[in-house]
A and B are shown apart, each in its own frame.
Chain A
Amino acid sequence: MVDVTHGVAVPVAEVGDVELYHPRSWVTKYVFSQDAKVIAIQYSLTALSIGLVALVLSWLMRMQLGFPGLLSFINADRYYQFVTMHGMIMVIYLLTALFLGGFGNYLIPLMLGARDMVFPYVNMLSYWIYLLAVLVLVAGFFVPGGPTGAGWTLYPPQAILANTPGQQWGIILMLVSLMLFIIGFTMGGLNYVVTVLQGRARGMTMMRMPLTVWGIFTATVMALLAFPALFVGSVMMLLDRVLGTSFFMPSIVLMGEQLKYGGGSPILFQHLFWFFGHPEVYIVALPAFGIVSDLISTHARKNIFGYRMMVWAIVAIGALSFVVWAHHMYVSGMNPGFGFFFATTTLIIAIPTAIKVYNWVLTLWRGDIHFTVPMLFALGFIVTFVNGGLTGLFLGNVVVDVPLSRTMFVVAHFHMVMGIAPIMVIFGAIYHWYPKLTGRMLDDTLGKLHFWVTFVGAYAIFFPMHYLGLLGVPRRYYEMGETAFVPPSAHTLNEFITIAALIVGAAQLAFVFNLFWSLRHGRPSGGNPWRATTLEWQTPETPPTHGNWGKELPVVYRWAYDYSVPGAAEDFLPQNQPPMPRTP
């Protein structure tokens, strides 16, 4: 590691500094801004706002499951509309947008020592198209028939047929919104990739990049490859719905009436959907992996353990995630022979994933652990991610999936692994970087309260839920009704889960309050409150101004993890700190 920690050879800049576009008015500075930091905040606030809608939807769903009939306006139509919108919002419009559009925009230029993204104008367009996508999605709530209730997987033929809620306008708006999202994302995504490849400061080699950037970078490359499959699927389904083509529609008799469709393949859509949908899981997970690595390292004052292995694990997971999609389709009726291949690839992906878990825990080993709020959320992430990842070994192993698929076990699994776990990282990251955004710390007491209720509460929601699935309770049931094999105790458990969900949801209000309250009343943080090594903490001003670095771009001399280096006076050495003069 000598070359990494004490590297002296810094390549000379090949191109000079480029003149930045400078905003001239309030509107171009804060609204139609081309500054990645402003765009990041716009992305984040939009994503968090729509996320609050999804949170309310989850409350309504849980009320129906725990106390059926108590809220009389939740009929079956509305229930399925809530299910669908909750799922789609959380996966695409919150998690993907926040990790890539929010954290990506803020952290990539700052962590790499760049002044901005490479294509600032396209970057601005990316946000406004994303906002349009969100508005089109939300419009579904206000059109006749309401939003689509086809389930977030939108499986045809059901998604576009007459008996499905939102068949009039909802499904059209959903598909158009997805297409807009993908267009907007592509603009942002190309930016992130080119900036990482071309915009790094002198000395910032790829293998000196913080893992946060590695996670976001790899996830973006994956998203650029995976989203087109969803785009194509959306276009075809839109044509089936609007023009009556039959890409996904076979001959159908609906309620005794012969429809004019024929010859299409419903399962083709499932392949397109999951060819996007599985990488999507890692598009959310890899940025979370990267960020949590940096949180753990910073707050344990110790270098991340096995950096090179961590980078290769991210890349390996990214590549493998493109050959596992059909594990969502073991009981879809596809050729059962596929099961052998996809079960094998799926379980292989557990190996690089496990290595990452070991390395996080081994980073704690012999560390100097500060129980800051970001660290608490990072620890919460490890617990929920390990739990959710391990139940993935049930569902990935084709024959075990047969009884468990389509049950509450699946709901519990994916909420634990790609709901709670990444959201733990999002919270940790917000508590971690909020001081850089605002110059003030978030309130610690409120933060700890937020963490404990969210972590313990979420675990209490989703851990027991697996056992409902094991019992055989199917997912996506508006009501269970009288079912011989479901004992009354299962209903009691449902009530418990609902109450826990209401409490966890309420705790998020404390977080929202904290965000606003600390803006004015938070303790001033200074430029580097966590005494962190990475470049974003070394900006001349906090919050960083337009152009990030003042006159001189930083020069990088070391990797991102020089914590507690023997012989150094401080327990951290910033990446832009020149090597210590060697004693003769």
Chain B
Amino acid sequence: MHIAIILALIVIGSVVFHFLSPWWWTPLASNWGYIDSTIIITFWITGTVFAAVVLFMAYCVYRFRHREGSRAAYEPENKRLESWLAIGTAVGVAAMLAPGLVVWGRFVTVPSDAAEVEVVGQQWQWSYRLPGKDGRLGASSVRYVTPENPLGLDPNDPRAQDDIIVQGDNLHFELGKPVKVLLRSLDVVHDFYVPEFRAKMDMIPGSTTYYWFTPTRTGTFEVLCAELCSTGHPYMRGGVVVEAKADYQPWLQQQKTFAELSKPAKASALKQEGVTRWDLK
């Protein structure tokens, strides 16, 4: 008897908790409201199923509890019932999967007018790179990384020279402008995660991954690493700022290019390179 009441209370408690919970997703700051909508659909369907199954179970447990002289029915199968339940489940699953796949289609289709920005992860900090005047990011490789060239840009690639490097500062985004975030790691797997944007993706050393979004709300948001990257993982934080074009442009103007940053060091770097080559011979 009391098991039936507790089963019912679990359903009621879960539903009440869901609606009263102060823990809910952060206010959205990107175009991925579609994702939030898909979650809401999923909550409704799964919540209904959970309540229905457990309440039905509570009823059975109450109604068919053992009493003196009671005896169970004998019914090995019921083809009709089983088929209907399977069909109903398939419909419910399709109702979640279909919108999910449509939204995923958008998620993986980067708009052609998206601006590119690169995020580089390493233990345990974030750095950023924006294309310079030529609008393109230059080549890069872990092999080029030196103290003077921390992001490993190819010094021989002319397109890399005007790339803008942001280190130890927040990354800024222009409000309403779609952006393709290219993700690169120098050491282990990291994950560039801003909860308000909903999107996230791992960065894998040795390859470049990406996702895209459109910032839809101005403000400063926290960046976290979402893939275990050893003991400094919880401290790998950063910030991003979403601002209108009028505020974004002055920020962009202040940033230094790769050429500007590496100029004083360039001579010594070349010299060092010469020495290394000589040694190899």
Q: Which A residues fall within an 8 A CB radius of B?
A: 1, 4-5, 76-77, 80, 149-151, 155, 157-158, 161, 163-165, 250-256, 258, 264-267, 300-303, 305-309, 331-333, 336-337, 339-340, 343-344, 347-348, 350-351, 354-355, 357-359, 361-362, 364-371, 376, 379, 382-383, 386-387, 390-391, 393-394, 397-400, 402-407, 456, 459, 463-464, 467-468, 470-472, 474, 476-481, 483-485, 487, 489-490, 493, 561, 563-566, 571
26 A-B contacts, Cβ less than 8 Å apart? Answer: A1-B77, A76-B232, A80-B231, A149-B230, A158-B229, A252-B187, A265-B206, A306-B76, A306-B77, A333-B209, A336-B104, A336-B108, A351-B86, A354-B89, A362-B78, A364-B61, A382-B53, A397-B100, A403-B32, A406-B200, A464-B17, A467-B21, A472-B195, A474-B225, A480-B234, A493-B23
- Which residues does chain B contribute within 8 Å of A489, judged by CB atoms? 22-23
B31 within 8 A of A: no
Known: A155-B188, A371-B65. 15 other contacts (CB 8 A): A76-B232, A251-B141, A255-B187, A266-B204, A305-B78, A307-B77, A333-B203, A343-B101, A369-B64, A399-B103, A403-B25, A464-B23, A474-B224, A485-B222, A564-B71
Q: What are the 10 closest A-B residue pairs judged by CB atoms, nearest first?
A: A250-B206, A472-B195, A333-B209, A302-B72, A390-B46, A366-B73, A467-B23, A158-B188, A406-B226, A564-B72
- Taking a contact as CB atoms under 8 Å apart, the answer to whether A402 and B234 are in contact is no
Bound together, the chains give a CA A309 to CA B78 distance in angstroms of 10
Q: Which B residues fall within an 8 A CB radius of A?
A: 3, 6-7, 10, 14, 17, 21-26, 32, 34-35, 38-39, 42, 45-46, 49-50, 53-54, 56-57, 60-61, 64-66, 70-78, 81-82, 85-86, 89-90, 93, 96-97, 100-101, 103-105, 107-108, 122-123, 141-143, 145, 147, 152, 183, 186-189, 191, 193, 195-196, 198-207, 209, 221-222, 224-235
- Taking a contact as CB atoms under 8 Å apart, the answer to whether A368 and B24 are in contact is no
- Taking a contact as CB atoms under 8 Å apart, the answer to whether A254 and B187 are in contact is yes
Identify which of A266, A333, A343 contacts B183 (C-beta below 8 A). Answer: A333
- Which residues does chain A contribute within 8 Å of B61, judged by CB atoms? 364, 369, 379
- Taking a contact as CB atoms under 8 Å apart, the answer to whether A405 and B200 are in contact is yes
- Which residues does chain B contribute within 8 Å of A164, judged by CB atoms? 230-231
- Taking a contact as CB atoms under 8 Å apart, the answer to whether A157 and B73 are in contact is no
Closest CB in chain B relative to A488 CB, distance in Å: 10
- Taking a contact as CB atoms under 8 Å apart, the answer to whether A309 and B77 are in contact is yes
Bound together, the chains give a CA A5 to CA B46 distance in angstroms of 37
In the complex where A379-B7, A402-B107 touch, is A484 in contact with B202 (Cβ < 8 A)?
no
- Taking a contact as CB atoms under 8 Å apart, the answer to whether B233 and A477 are in contact is yes
Identify which of B42, B86, B202 contacts A394 (C-beta below 8 A). Answer: B42
Bound together, the chains give a CA A157 to CA B204 distance in angstroms of 9
- Which residues does chain A contribute within 8 Å of B39, judged by CB atoms? 394, 400, 403-404
- Which residues does chain A contribute within 8 Å of B198, judged by CB atoms? 402-403
- Which residues does chain A contribute within 8 Å of B3, judged by CB atoms? 371, 376, 379
Closest CB in chain B relative to A258 CB, distance in Å: 7
Identify which of A1, A393, A463 contacts B76 (C-beta below 8 A). Answer: A1
In the complex where A387-B50, A484-B222 touch, is A399 in contact with B104 (Cβ < 8 A)?
yes
- Taking a contact as CB atoms under 8 Å apart, the answer to whether A303 and B222 are in contact is no
Identify which of A5, A252, A400, A467 contacts B205 (C-beta below 8 A). Answer: A252
Identify which of A343, A402, A485 contacts B26 (C-beta below 8 A). Answer: A485
Residue of A whose beta carbon sits closest to that of B100: A397
Bound together, the chains give a CA A476 to CA B228 distance in angstroms of 7
- Taking a contact as CB atoms under 8 Å apart, the answer to whether B204 and A267 are in contact is yes
Identify which of A149, A258, A471 contacts B23 (C-beta below 8 A). Answer: A471
- Taking a contact as CB atoms under 8 Å apart, the answer to whether A350 and B93 are in contact is yes
Bound together, the chains give a CA A477 to CA B100 distance in angstroms of 29
Bound together, the chains give a CA A478 to CA B234 distance in angstroms of 6
- Taking a contact as CB atoms under 8 Å apart, the answer to whether B187 and A332 are in contact is no
Bound together, the chains give a CA A481 to CA B225 distance in angstroms of 14
Bound together, the chains give a CA A340 to CA B104 distance in angstroms of 8
- Which residues does chain B contribute within 8 Å of A470, judged by CB atoms? 23-25
- Taking a contact as CB atoms under 8 Å apart, the answer to whether B93 and A351 are in contact is yes
